[in-house]
Amino acid sequence: MTKRIPFNFPYMTGKELYYIADAHFKGKLAGDGPYTKKCHLWLENQTCTQKALLTHSCTAALEMAAILANIQPGDEVIMPSFTFVSTANAFVLRGAVPVFVDIRPDTLNIDESKISAAITAKTRAIVAVHYAGVGCEMHPIMDIARSHGLLVIEDAAQGIMATYQGCPLGSIGHFGALSFHETKNIICGEGGALLVNDESYAERAEIIREKGTNRSQFFRGQTDKYTWCDIGSSFLPGELMAAFLWAQMEEAEIITQRRINIWNIYHENFIDLESKGLIVRPTVPRHTQHNAHMYYILVPTLEHRTSLIRRLSECGITAVFHYIPLHSSPAGLRYGRASGNLSNTICISDRLLRLPLFPELEPNQAESVVAVVDEHLRHFRSV
């Protein structure tokens, strides 16, 4: 192996600094300037949502969703254990109890058939996390929520440009949270957005995002005073971040297509290893369109994974795993509870391996990653 292959390498379109210089020249540096407005419009068109609001992270967007959902101490919020900590933290910060439900063995998304059993009189919301940019079974989830009067929040941190039954991820539940973190598909370092899909929450969302004030309405001339109206925080990004993000949004289609090309190379080249029973490849249901956020494989055991990561590293290739299930983590044990035995979560979190995937990864580099995995797993001997 001549060239090292990192796990991720952030893609730049080349226009980021030009737009940042433009924002700098215009001297409009605080949030909600012209670039933020361009990003809002793009997101509203792209996701067909009522209102999109940039935030400084997906974590912040989830925290806003928890406030908008009026989550109170002691309320319960259903979510997968196989997710990033922010999914749970946003609700724990409001005093809620995360109730962890197992995932499906195919898409690794929350198992919708196990949600009803987790519902109690205290349940207020369901959080659907679209793992790897593959949509959760949103129609059944929305039906369950409707019949119990629950709100649905989509953690679509990994979901930009992906759809479920033709609907953009993040636009189906009451709220959707997107991430533009450096490791995601469309990036600005640290960034995110809240999609407010139910218009009745739009006004309050603006207020919560602007420190609990009606500043946005005031600047639109809809109110004659600018005052403290509600709880809130500073959830908006500065204009320079929005300028960076705008360059990425302009190329969102190209970025997604480049990722999909690499994803397809992995997927085709791993057919043989899967047919030998040595790995399981990702499942993308026919009614979903993914965005190639991630390429992962499931190997037979934790021992296989540990030795494969070491072997890849010897070849200059960085491959990583996640998540440590939340239900058994120190904070998860303190603040949450598990519904059922979570056997898929426990088993899969030991066996999942994420491979390098970024727009500038060369096809022959992806092929060489496959070759190392193939060789190692075919000759794997337990020690």
- Eight-state DSSP code of residue 276: T
88 binds ligand PLP (CB under 6 A): no
84 binds ligand PLP (CB under 6 A): yes
B/e letters for 314-345, b = 16+ CB within 10 Å, e = fewer, are eeebebebebebbbbbeebeebbebbeebebb
365 binds ligand PLP (CB under 6 A): no
Q: How far is the CB of 85 from ligand PLP (least distance, A)?
A: 8
Q: How far is the CB of 185 from ligand PLP (least distance, A)?
A: 11
CB contact set of 301 (below 8 Å; sequence gap of 6+): 350, 351
Q: How far is the CB of 372 from ligand PLP (least distance, A)?
A: 26
185 binds ligand PLP (CB under 6 A): no
CB closer to ligand PLP, 92 vs 129 = 129
- Reference 77, options 144, 141, 122; nearest CA is 122
CB closer to ligand PLP, 93 vs 315 = 93
What radius of gyration do the chain's Cα atoms show?
A: 21
CB atoms within 10 A of CB 70: 12
Q: How far is the CB of 66 from ligand PLP (least distance, A)?
A: 13
- Judged by CB under 6 A, the residue of 59, 171, 256, 288 near ligand PLP is 59
Which stretches within 293-362 are classed as H helix?
302-314, 330-335, 343-351
352 by DSSP, 3-state: which? Answer: strand
Could you give the CA distance from residue 358 to residue 365 in angstroms, rounded to a whole number?
Answer: 11
Q: Which of residues 140-179 bind ligand PLP (CB under 6 A)?
A: 155, 157-158, 179
181 binds ligand PLP (CB under 6 A): yes
345 binds ligand PLP (CB under 6 A): no
Stretch of residues binding ligand PLP (CB under 6 A), selected from 21-29, 82-90, 243-251, 331-339: 82-90
**Token pair for residue 358?**
């970024």
The footprint of ligand PLP (CB under 6 A) covers 57-59, 83-84, 86-87, 129, 155, 157-158, 179, 181, 192
